[in-house]
Structure 1
Amino acid sequence: MVSRKGLRWGAAGGGWLVSTENLDLLIVGSGPAGLSAAAHARQAGLSCAVLERSDHLADTVHCYQKRKYVMAEPAQVPLRSPLPFAAGSREEVLDAWGRFVAAQQIRVDYRREVESVERRGDVFHVRTSGGVYHAARVVLAVGTQGNPRRLGVPGEDLPQVSNRLIDPDAHRDEDVVVVGAGDSALEVAIALSERNRVSLIVRSEEIVRAKESLEREVLSRQATGQLTIHFRTTVKRIVPGFVDLQGPEEDLRVAADRVILKIGAEPPRALLERCGVTFASAARDARPRLDRHHQTETPGLYLIGAAAGRDLIKLGINQGYEVVEHVLGREVEPADEAVLKERLPYWSGSVRQRLESLRQTVPLLRQADPEDLREVFLLAQVRDADDGEVIVRQNDYTDSFLVITAGRVAIDMRDDEGVERRVAELGTGDFFGEMGLISGRRRNATATALGPCRLLEIPRKAMIKLLHVSPRVKATLDRVFLLRALQSYVFPELDDASLWPLVEAARQLHLGRDQVVFEEGEIGDAFYLVRHGMVKLSKRSGDRQLVLTYLGAGNVFGETALLERAARTATVTTIFPTDLIVLDKAVFDDFLTQRPALRQQLLEAYKRKTLEGLEIELRPGGGVLDHLIELEAVIGTDVLVIDNHKCVRCGNCVAACEGVHADGQARLSLTGSKLANLLFPNSCMQCENPLCMLDCPPDAIVRRAGGEIQIKDTCIGCGNCAANCPYDNIFMVQPKAGRGFFGRLLAGLGLDRDGGQAAAVKKEVAVKCDLCAGVDGGAACVRSCPTGAAIRLESKGLRRGIEALVAREELG
């Protein structure tokens, strides 16, 4: 009889059978949350063991691609566990944990897959693939990966098939098939397309689940031949060297030295339920029932980490510490408690009590899980406003979401003629800012305090994350977005109660790039609101298709053709992937039948649109807008244009840009798209809906009220913003040493040609055009141009400005 780590070897059948000791604590999973609990338990003198189903620590992090950068977020929450953790590469993080486990002699039993957890009296019996363990308490830290989903086709178990990419650099000149359309699938396809021939298999007719920046990148690589995308295609079978596909029109066979499946994983709910965890409902996204100590409804059984809803490494590590503190009989506040109390100073009690008070005051917040709100309010700020104070101003580019916790706020909107009207008065428990939140565009109204009021201001990034994890919050905001858009643009005289029937009958439609919503001449059968994205309106004019205008998020179209069952007067096509809210004709007719005066107003609007269309059609150069849409210049709010007929190639613009920035780096490059004699240089256009701001871990990218997008000194150089910019207008650079006041002055005038040859700083950071914010006189590139070739055009005057500059004889 041989003993090992509390298990005994059985003569009959072999294998480790039954633990001969009762542990104080048994931890399932050696990820960051589980290792944190083990580290604290070890220091506290508790007998404990960690069960890991794989043969290595932290399987989720281990399965990251080599050299993947691991973030340590949220930055404002302290790390309280003895387990070391700092932002760094995958290899650095795993090495630090491995050395710590060895140094602290933390017991980890590998290849122990848990099958069930059963409480008998005061002892848990944990059955695993290697035997049965006994413990007074059990901590489940199993993560959410579960088992990878399977295709269910022949050949899936061949050695050429895998679920992960270990090292992109290890593969060269291979035929690789990637199956999936989520973020991880697109990341793998992009990484491998540099040195291999990649086919991406997408089951649907377009990519809908991935980040828009990743979608743009793979579509761009498809256009340049770097990879091939097979839409509306599924895998039939896998054979050595090939994959047989079932396409939309015919079956085909593609070469495949390697097949990587990125089709998701089954959640671990079945395992958790076998272990005694209960859930709030049978819904797929239901949360486990836990108390404030992370304890399940089974006393002594705890659930922490990603499976408990905390998918950030640092938060999971802190949970592991907190669980052990509770096991030791100590009352411990969550790690974010002090920070959240500072964020919510005007409410009393614990953070849990303060959040509950807010949930009672604000109906929208009652739709969210309190744990999700903790993450949101880490970034929120309380804001007090005096009577008459402007909280947000129409056309500003601020994008926060505001909740009224006390007082009243007036919402006023000014039309194109400058006439201002009051749209609404909101009170305690109401919110505003959802238009910019959903559409990503500038403020569409001015909000003013009616007497003293208190608000909670939530950054857009934090609110977007809440919408992602809280479907009920998202559904509520979508309904309010449609309601207020109808009031703002179509039915300003109607109150909420009158419009709710339309809101409840609406449906959503997602369309990809360059998809036709409806054709000119079709009989109108629906009315549309652009929720997100952009469309263009065009009509036939002789033998060409003339672009009339483009509409961004928050705009409506298609309503006039419904009035008399008239034919569509224009063709509407998406410019980018676009979400539309659709109201069908039957609903629209029922609504207007009860309101004949509204029907007459819409008819007048129809006449105005017809006249506007005729004006554009008769205007010389009207086809320029089509070229601007093709170049995607319409998404910018401030576009740099250089007239090559006037440009003398002196380079003053670049030198001046270098000179006004202390780091000596230019924010523009004289490369880019061309339209006849006009160059659109690689210089930030200050996009209406900037993709660069979507994934900045330290929130170093901010938008000023005037629209300028700036990168703060807190940039960590991760490169996410540069990768997300589809126009190559963000540059990763090593800042040059400063040249002093006179050096910058000379460069600002285009007179310094040393190019900032002083020693460069080693750290790489992101830089982009910020419109010379804070510099007297405006953009240095324009001021330094001796011939007037360089000009900047704002979005409102873009079309007419280009029509005046372009050499029409050079247009294609």
Structure 2
Amino acid sequence: MRPTPNNSQTAKPMFAHLTADYDIAIVGSGPAGLSAASRAQELGCSYVLLEAENHASDTIYKYQKGKHVMAEPGFLPLRSGMSFEAGKREAILGTWDTQLAQQGIHIQYKKKVSTIQKLNGGEGPFALACEDGTQCTARTVILGIGLQGNIRTIGTAGDDLPNVQYTLNDPDEFQNETIVVIGAGDAAIENALGLMSKNTVLLVNRREEFARCKEGNLNLILAADSNDDLKILYNTSTVRIEEIAGATDNAPSLRYVYKGPDGERTQDVHRIIARLGATPPRQLVEGFGVQFPNSDPNAVPALSETYESNVPGLFIVGALGGYPLIKQAMNQGYEVVDTIMGLPVVPADEPLLADKFKSLGDRSVSEVLDLIAHNVPVFSGMTRLQLREFMLESAVLKPAKGQVVFKKNDYTSTFFSIVEGSVDIELVDKQGKPFTVNLGQGQYFGEMGLISGRRRTATVRAGAGCVLVETPRKAMLKLIASVDSVRKTIDEVFVRRAISMYLAPSLEATAVEKLLSGGIDVRRYAKGEVLFKDGDEADGLYLIRRGSVAISKVIAGKEMVLSYVSAGNYVGEMAMLNNNPRSATVTAAVMTEALVLPAGPVRTVLDENPQWRAALQLQVSKRVRSNIFREDQAYRDSDLVRFLMQEGLGEATDALIIDENLCIQCDNCETACADTHDGTSRLDRSAGPTFQNIHIPTSCRHCEHPHCMKDCPPDAIRRNEHGEVMINDSCIGCGNCQRNCPYGVIQMAVKAPPKKGNLLTWLLFGLGDKPGQRVGEYDPNAIKKAVKCDMCHGSSGGPACVRACPTGAAIRISPEQFLIKPSETA
């Protein structure tokens, strides 16, 4: 493996004083490696490109047949001697093969590098050895080997059974099968889309949305979810996989057991395809001397802004460096060769970041990134390159002192980090007394709206010299999913906030640290799953981060629901105080996530802090007194709470409820709705379930995590800052939202029918046509679009249905306001 080097270089390389076969050895011919080789060829460098397989770009080569490869991010320019644009896998590989030949790229196939080491005690060039015994030396090394060989497995019983696979070459190979595809990234989505034309596909997503895929794939999979041949299972995890004994050739051979929002389920399937990504080949790379920042299996090597590792002269580009997108990798390959050859390098994203940072004055991009990395610890686990990518999706704000960042009860979901200055959080204590919490440099806020989907719990105002980074929800969820240290920090700070603001505001910092000494256990519960039962030994204090739970007890032989507790509150404190078993059962009303503080540290801190014990005991005493009354009323109210929970009000934020004892069935509410919305009522008063005197008409509940939002191809459904779930004019009438709404509150209607009569004029004076009745002719072939309650957004006085009710029977209210206030929390 010692061909004659190309010495016609036009620039002086790094370490030019060292004697070696090549200036640059490029390991791996993925997009980054190909781009690096093309640039090296253009500059006349002495280089070699080593590829382990018998073809170039093995990762793309192993994409499924006919896969459409996207050129994202769209805003980033391409900088490479190899061309690349969105297109079919086969076309892209063909173009690259042609350009490899045309440019005379010096590539050697079947050369799998096994060792890379520096000679002369680390002062000399690199020696590279391949598995076939060949060797060479190089002054510098560009490592672009990707993650292809380190595929993640499912990690449950049965994940190695026949017909459980981790790659897919040709979707057309399978027909008339029921197939489970596991994963939420691009590979899983593309496999599901490719298989659904000839099979029935279940796509399993562990989370509630697709946060890590490309925008194009997101639109495609959400549009396809309405197809009968594909179903997406959100918030779902694999429990185990079983082999079906005696299955015939055409029958399902596997039983897939999974846990979703409604509990454990099974599905008989022909095969399971898990596309769970890959982890860095850490052992191999560490063998080259490269260091990783921490022990997280997903961690990427620590690199400089020029892609250099801790080993001088060894550069890492592409997916191994945390940049899996093709365009990014190609830019890196080009730039790293310029760096090695001593040419000035301005990263392709530099102008974009400079524009984002211009509000901060004359600071350079590098200075701002230094500032953010130094001042905001939550980002400390990110590499510099990850931080650049993260900031491309975020905004830098410099609000004036006193300016409102967001208001209490807003329905925004962005995440804020404080780079400089401070913010004031305006809160109200349990006695209704206002107080302010100041957050300073390095802290963050907005995590409750980010994770729970609930309204903002406080108003936040900027302090003097405030500089904030505002990050969209999708970008932050992607970061949480990909950088373990960020996830752990978010979890810990959520608990600290809950302790300082709600649970134990009187505790000193040392006591809070002791509370956290036992760690934080993150637990997820499906709807109807029990967090703990009456009589159980207390295992900890539960902070409800998202979802809601019902508190129940057995009274006179009957299970009675006593109360409802929503996200942002806690349960389980009573058993911590009296060292007794649980005194009530807590059940998830909807899919719920709780952060649990272990019982040991909680009891220790209670014993050491009598003032906290006394405050908590006072709250519990009030609840116990309330419980005595509540249990007397349980036969009536418990069944009502259970009914409301069963009807999904646990995930509602604004529900329309009608008291049938007051309702005179005048239909003014429905008529007013039609009058307000151009003749199409978004309310069906008579429809919907009733229990005792409480009726839930068919009308939008404005869910915490709206089902309708998950499957809207034009992204026409949005929640505005006041909480209303709105459908804008970009609706294409596909009907996906109508099919996905479990409560039947969305209808397809002509968006702009002729104007109807006015309700007030018709009621008071009998003038005009009755509202809700069509006037004149309209086109029956007009495109129907989705319509639903928008809380009469833009109209003064609130929802028309409530304003038009002459008896006050109709109310719009959040369930925690309507339901009985929390009582004993076990």
TM normalised by structure 1 equals 0.73
Instruction: Say whether residues 1:411 and 2:407 are aligned partners.
Output: no
Tell me: CA distance 1:645–1:671, structure 2 relative to 1, closer, same or farther (3 Å): closer
Pairs within 5 Å for 1:113-152: 114-116=112-114, 118=116, 127=130, 138-148=141-151
Cα distance in 2, alignment partners of residues 499 and 350 from structure 1:
39
Tell me: CA distance 1:482–1:754, structure 2 relative to 1, closer, same or farther (3 Å): farther
Which residue, out of 599, 624, 641, partners 1:625? 641
Instruction: Say whether residues 1:33 and 2:56 are aligned partners.
Output: no
| CA shift for structure 1 position 609 | 1.9
Which whole-Å deviations, capped at 9, do the CAs of 1:563-610 have from their partners, x for residues lacking one? 233453321022344433333444333323333343333222123223
Corresponding residue for residue 774 of structure 2:
751
Tell me: CA distance 1:258–1:470, structure 2 relative to 1, closer, same or farther (3 Å): closer
Cα distance in 2, alignment partners of residues 673 and 165 from structure 1:
46
Cα distance in 2, alignment partners of residues 748 and 47 from structure 1:
81
Q: Contact between 2:423 and 2:461, CA under 8 Å: does it hold in 1?
A: yes
Corresponding residue for residue 324 of structure 2:
311
Q: Contact between 1:85 and 1:93, CA under 8 Å: does it hold in 2?
A: no
Tell me: CA distance 1:34–1:612, structure 2 relative to 1, closer, same or farther (3 Å): farther
Q: Contact between 1:646 and 1:789, CA under 8 Å: does it hold in 2?
A: no
Q: Contact between 2:299 and 2:483, CA under 8 Å: does it hold in 1?
A: no
Cα distance in 1, alignment partners of residues 805 and 71 from structure 2:
45
| CA shift for structure 1 position 114 | 1.8
Pairs within 5 Å for 1:216-615: 231-233=239-241, 258=271, 260=273, 265=278, 267-273=280-286, 277-280=290-293, 284-296=297-309, 301-345=314-358, 346=360, 349-415=363-429, 418-422=432-436, 424-451=437-464, 453-513=466-526, 514-522=528-536, 524=538, 526-615=540-629
| CA shift for structure 1 position 309 | 0.9
Cα distance in 1, alignment partners of residues 745 and 61 from structure 2:
31
| CA shift for structure 1 position 795 | 3.8
Tell me: CA distance 1:741–1:30, structure 2 relative to 1, closer, same or farther (3 Å): farther
Which range moves more in the overlay, 546-555 or 94-103? 94-103
Cα distance in 1, alignment partners of residues 352 and 716 from structure 2:
20
Cα distance in 2, alignment partners of residues 797 and 522 from structure 1:
30
Which range moves more in the overlay, 741-750 or 330-339? 741-750
Which residue, out of 638, 652, 657, partners 1:636? 652
Cα distance in 2, alignment partners of residues 180 and 543 from structure 1:
45
Instruction: Look up the equivalent residue of 2:639 and give its one-letter code.
Output: G
What CA RMSD, in Å, does the superposition of the two structures yield over aligned residues? 5.9
Cα distance in 1, alignment partners of residues 434 and 484 from structure 2:
35
Higher RCO (Cα < 8 Å, 6 or more apart): 2
| CA shift for structure 1 position 401 | 2.7
Cα distance in 2, alignment partners of residues 667 and 655 from structure 1:
7
Cα distance in 2, alignment partners of residues 5 and 744 from structure 1:
88
Q: Share of identical aligned residues, percent?
A: 35
Cα distance in 1, alignment partners of residues 463 and 267 from structure 2:
66
| CA shift for structure 1 position 402 | 2.6
Cα distance in 2, alignment partners of residues 417 and 443 from structure 1:
20
Instruction: Look up the equivalent residue of 1:631 and give its one-letter code.
Output: E
Cα distance in 2, alignment partners of residues 342 and 135 from structure 1:
39
Q: Contact between 1:187 and 1:214, CA under 8 Å: does it hold in 2?
A: no
Tell me: CA distance 1:689–1:254, structure 2 relative to 1, closer, same or farther (3 Å): closer
Which residue, out of 92, 98, 112, partners 2:88? 92
Cα distance in 2, alignment partners of residues 133 and 695 from structure 1:
54
Cα distance in 1, alignment partners of residues 657 and 190 from structure 2:
33
**Unmatched runs of 5 consecutive residues or more in structure 1:** 7-20, 201-206, 801-812
| CA shift for structure 1 position 706 | 0.9
| CA shift for structure 1 position 211 | 1.9
Tell me: CA distance 1:459–1:257, structure 2 relative to 1, closer, same or farther (3 Å): closer
| Aligned-partner SS, 1:231 | strand
Cα distance in 2, alignment partners of residues 635 and 656 from structure 1:
29
Instruction: Look up the equivalent residue of 1:534 and give its one-letter code.
Output: S
| CA shift for structure 1 position 360 | 3.0
Instruction: Look up the equivalent residue of 2:146 and give its one-letter code.
Output: G
Corresponding residue for residue 203 of structure 1:
none
Q: Contact between 1:508 and 1:579, CA under 8 Å: does it hold in 2?
A: no
**Unmatched runs of 5 consecutive residues or more in structure 2:** 6-19, 212-221, 259-265, 759-768, 821-826
| CA shift for structure 1 position 316 | 1.9
Tell me the matched-pair count. 756
| CA shift for structure 1 position 499 | 2.3
Corresponding residue for residue 12 of structure 1:
none
| Aligned-partner SS, 1:321 | helix
| CA shift for structure 1 position 467 | 2.9
Q: Contact between 2:574 and 2:620, CA under 8 Å: does it hold in 1?
A: yes
Q: Contact between 1:658 and 1:747, CA under 8 Å: does it hold in 2?
A: no
Instruction: Look up the equivalent residue of 1:34 and give its one-letter code.
Output: G
Which whole-Å deviations, capped at 9, do the CAs of 1:345-396 have from their partners, x for residues lacking one? 3265542332223333334444443222222222333333334333332222
Pairs within 5 Å for 1:662-701: 681=698, 685-689=701-705
Instruction: Look up the equivalent residue of 1:322 and give its one-letter code.
Output: E
Q: Contact between 2:754 and 2:776, CA under 8 Å: does it hold in 1?
A: no
